[in-house]
């Protein structure tokens, strides 16, 4: 899936055209993605930034042949956003679903539609993979992110997130 998208900014924001390309991540993107994760984890108190762990996880996701997708948003040659999804099987849905993670756009490029394009492209991937649902976790104190997801058609559930660290 190599999806090229052209996006023109609203004239109120800028008179320039911003060429935006959404594509699958490559190993050469890992350092830029680590920088984006540093930004994301700075507002998510449940996660600690550790570049070695993030590098290891990104390499595994990018190299996974099936069941995962890591997308990047590029403006020119600069990676300015990312998101990822991983396949799971849902007994409630009777089939595959995807967990969405790491939705982040460089602060200098926010409010330009990049996050929307990332999620729309990820949704296209999920549909093509036969996924029945997308789901994600969002920090309840991150009001801008919650409002963003609501504008994109996401809805909350009554389920709460729990975790248990292993090892």
- Whether 18 and 75 have beta carbons less than 8 Å apart is answered as yes
Supply the Cα-derived Rg of the chain in whole angstroms: 16
Mean pLDDT score of the chain: 90
Bigger pLDDT: 18 or 138? Answer: 138
Model confidence at 146: pLDDT above 70: yes
pLDDT of residue 16: 54
**Domains along the sequence of the chain with CATH:** 2-6+17-151 (3.40.630.30)
Contact 126, 14 (CB under 8 A): no
State if pTM tops 0.85. Answer: yes
- 72-118 pLDDT, tens digit each: 999 999 999 999 999 999 999 999 999 999 999 999 999 999 999 99
Q: Report whether 66 contacts 117 (CB < 8 A).
A: no
Beta bridge partners of 23: 2, 72
Stretch 129-147: mean pLDDT:
94
């Amino acid at each position: 899936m190599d999806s090229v998208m052209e996006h023109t900014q609203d004239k109120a924001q800028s008179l320039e055209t911003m060429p935006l390309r959404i594509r699958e991540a490559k190993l050469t993107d890992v350092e830029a993605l680590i920088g984006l994760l540093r930004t994301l984890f700075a507002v998510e108190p449940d996660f600690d930034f550790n570049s070695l762990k993030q590098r290891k996880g990104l390499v595994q996701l990018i190299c996974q042949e099936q069941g995962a997708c890591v997308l990047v948003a590029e403006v020119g040659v600069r990676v300015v956003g990312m998101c990822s999804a991983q396949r799971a099987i849902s007994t409630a849905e009777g089939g595959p679903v995807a967990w969405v993670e790491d939705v982040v756009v460089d602060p200098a490029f926010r409010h330009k539609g990049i996050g929307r394009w990332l999620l729309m492209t990820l949704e296209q991937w999920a549909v093509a993979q036969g996924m029945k649902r997308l789901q994600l976790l969002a920090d309840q104190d991150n009001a801008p992110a919650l409002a963003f997801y609501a504008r994109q058609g996401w809805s909350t559930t009554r389920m709460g997130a729990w975790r248990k660290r292993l090892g």
